[in-house]
Amino acid sequence: MVPIDIALAKAKESSLDLVEVSVKSKPHVCRIMDYGQFKYQQAKKGKEAKKKQKQIVVKEITLRPRIEAHDYEFKINHAVKFLEHGDKVRFIMQFRGREMAHKDIGQAMMTRVISDLVEVAQVEQAPRQEGRFMNMTLAPLPTKKKKTIEAEFEDSEEIPTDVASEILPASAELTVHEDQNGGRTEM
């Protein structure tokens, strides 16, 4: 323990500052240093930490219950790009007029989105109805989980529906419809 007068004299002698490091400890801990340089280094460390931070961006994609196949694929491709970039994606299903009576179609469309993006995304917020809109948020998969899913389904062309059912809410169902030409669409 050095008396404060002697510590101040030593600091003045070396043309530095006497800085109190720990206020709560008994006795108080002080240090002789260049306070301006210390503040500069702290600000520099703060800026470096801020540069390394990943800013979370939420992209929004709006859908309608009766969306055409090409438009749907186009929006899904954009969602994949956003998710691979590390952004979250919020899907907004917009109902107009008589479409409000067929919310099940919107729910099926949201289920289809989840099953199409199971390789690159996980459900952060399950589809939920808010007035005329149904919202759902998807977040990118952590790299560890993404690798295990890719390795598991490497040989198959399509991800089975039971994998989609693991990440879907219990109320959502995946239905398959066949059109006149024998083509299949999942909803």
All domains in the chain, ordered by first residue: 1-35 (no CATH), 58-186 (3.30.110.10)
Q: Rounded to whole angstroms, how far apart are CA atoms 71 and 180?
A: 21
End-to-end CA distance of the chain: 76
Task: Tell me what pLDDT residue 56 has.
Answer: 81
Question: What residue type is 18 in one-letter code?
Answer: L
Per-residue pLDDT of the chain (187 residues; tens, 9 = 90+): 788 888 889 889 988 988 888 888 888 888 899 999 989 999 999 998 888 877 788 999 999 998 999 999 999 999 999 999 889 999 999 999 888 888 899 999 999 999 999 989 999 999 999 989 999 999 998 876 656 666 666 655 555 555 544 444 444 444 445 555 555 544 4
Task: Tell me what pLDDT residue 23 has.
Answer: 81
Task: Tell me what pLDDT residue 171 has.
Answer: 45
Task: Tell me what pLDDT residue 40 has.
Answer: 94
Task: Tell me what pLDDT residue 28 has.
Answer: 82
pTM of the model: 0.54
Cα dist from 144 to 7, 109, 118, 141, whole Å: 54, 28, 14, 8
Q: Rounded to whole angstroms, how far apart are CA atoms 174 and 135?
A: 18
Task: Tell me what pLDDT residue 149 has.
Answer: 63
Q: Rounded to whole angstroms, how far apart are CA atoms 20 and 58?
A: 44
